Structure 1
């Protein structure tokens, strides 16, 4: 089942007796756990029929014994095991004991295993049994190019709109940590009035990302071959190194020029095809068309050579002791444009 399908079924009170939530992306696991923790029982019922356990403090035998109990004050009892990846099996007997419970779970118990920062072994009998009677959901991290669409979708879910450039700017700066991104999304929802679209200016005011001097604008300046604007931006980066570390700038530039190179090799260069293949909003297709005109294939390969060279220099290879990161950034931009 997909994340949204599982969440919708929980909200509709269509519960399964067992949920195994595992994977590298903690955010989706946390959202599903919270939906069950807050939505199944009311506050009075929770005192009798809801139990929160932690993997490092509990074993499977204890969980099984708790799961076999019946609710006292409601239709269900809820047991949530957080950080379940920290649990240790006490031999094959315990595994088989848990398997037997999974094959015939207590229908009035909702047991949730929040198994974070890793994947449960899908080859095991236990995993396959969980799939048969309950929900086994793998929470996967989003690729970089999927974060901006996710931001747009999250805001649309709450009946709001965000400008594509604002979503792209958030994605560039906040990365793929969805818990962090989700917090910033909620900050915008609370602070921007409902009657208008969330703009780049709102991102600057509420999240602290400069709307004029950021990696997104640096990409655009390079794509236009606007040397003056590009140098102004890297000067700003040099003056604010904590907000704009070279490692982030380098990664963003590599991602940007990788898309420019991919554009060159697309057979179908219609707006919709480009947006789909590059994983961008149609709003930005013209920017990549311009960048591709300004950087042919040969020039893009030159850019990759420059980035590789300066990646080593930022790591201290063949760099004088007096050379600052700001100096290296300026040199790098000059070589990209020339």
Structure 2
């Protein structure tokens, strides 16, 4: 479950809505944070309002590293074409992590006919760009909502579709699909379609149509281990622990993955294709293809050693020789170092 935390998101969201309603826009906006759904929602809402429902002739969009600040400033100084303002959207630029003195300095006295909309997944509040935007405009942190906000949001989404869902079912839904809001919207759409003709959404419905988020995150963690991305694997592990996932459950799924990798490795050595592997293991061909790709990163001995390490760790935990949380950490570190 999402951890409780203090956030100024509702306040900033209200300020953005007021700017849109009054039509009095600030010189710049920064939409950032870990929750992509909220970032994209605020980006789209601001962009459409700033354009005033007109065409995109006065919209300039820059994305990714390597953006030329001088080019952006030159565009900002260009008068809009038969419109009130020019809108410049800059996404994932890295300016808010690495700094951009030219643009930060320009924002101290920008053209009155241009509004900047910056969209970033992460920022460093010590950098010049963050300080410049927070002083001249408005920044909003789109972090993952807390438990209470998620409950209200899910209830509201369901109510808008004529559905009711209990607090217990919401808790089960979140535990099943996780707290990524884009994924939650997708899973809610499936539930709404599945329950066509009746009002209440139940835990049984969630079991029937919602993907198991935990299994998909374990897949992602295993992928990170195979790709030697130890930091990502550890981050996912800590995220799972924060969501009250039992280390034993995580270990069991890691063991299952290594066991499947070992079986796939053995079958591919006998020229089995993904269809044969999928049928033999009872998995989707897409999953079989992914396991085949992962298995190529390992020698047979490495897979056997990794599986033995999981079994030994499980035995050590059960006998009280090793802490259950540390045991999985050790497996992730060792397996991603191979």
Q: Deviations over 1:267-298 (max 9, x none)?
A: xxxxxxxxxxxxxxxxxxxxxxxxxxxxxxxx
Q: Measured at CA, do residues 125 and 36 of structure 1 come closer, stay the same or move farther in structure 2, by a change above 3 Å? A: same
| Matching of residues 113-128 of structure 1 within 5 Å | 113-116=118-121, 118-119=122-123, 121-128=124-131
Q: Deviations over 1:210-253 (max 9, x none)?
A: xxxx99xxxxxxxxxxxxxxxxxxxxxxxxx77998x99x9979
| Matching of residues 251-266 of structure 1 within 5 Å | none
| Matching of residues 69-108 of structure 1 within 5 Å | 69-85=78-94, 95=101, 97-108=102-113
Provide the rounded CA distance (Å) in 1 between the counterparts of 2:250 and 2:173: 26
Q: Are residues 1:162 and 2:165 paired? A: yes
Q: Are residues 1:2 and 2:12 paired? A: no
Shift of 1:169: 2.3
Shift of 1:194: 9.6
Provide the rounded CA distance (Å) in 2 between the counterparts of 1:156 and 1:11: 26
1:111 to 102, 113, 116: 116
TM-score w.r.t. structure 2 length? 0.54
Provide the rounded CA distance (Å) in 2 between the counterparts of 1:67 and 1:14: 18
Q: Measured at CA, do residues 17 and 312 of structure 1 come closer, stay the same or move farther in structure 2, by a change above 3 Å? A: closer
**Match in the other structure for 1:22:** 32
Provide the rounded CA distance (Å) in 2 between the counterparts of 1:312 and 1:152: 34
Shift of 1:51: 1.6
Q: Deviations over 1:160-181 (max 9, x none)?
A: 6432233222211221222211
Name the SS for the 1:40 alignment partner. Answer: helix
Q: What 5-or-longer segments of structure 1 have no aligned partner?
A: 216-240, 258-303, 324-338
Provide the rounded CA distance (Å) in 2 between the counterparts of 1:190 and 1:15: 39
Q: Deviations over 1:113-134 (max 9, x none)?
A: 1111x22x22234422321221
TM-score w.r.t. structure 1 length? 0.54
Q: Are residues 1:199 and 2:206 paired? A: no
Q: What 5-or-longer segments of structure 2 have no aligned partner?
A: 1-7, 222-235, 257-305, 316-338
Greater CA drift, 19-28 or 7-16: 7-16
Name the SS for the 1:45 alignment partner. Answer: coil
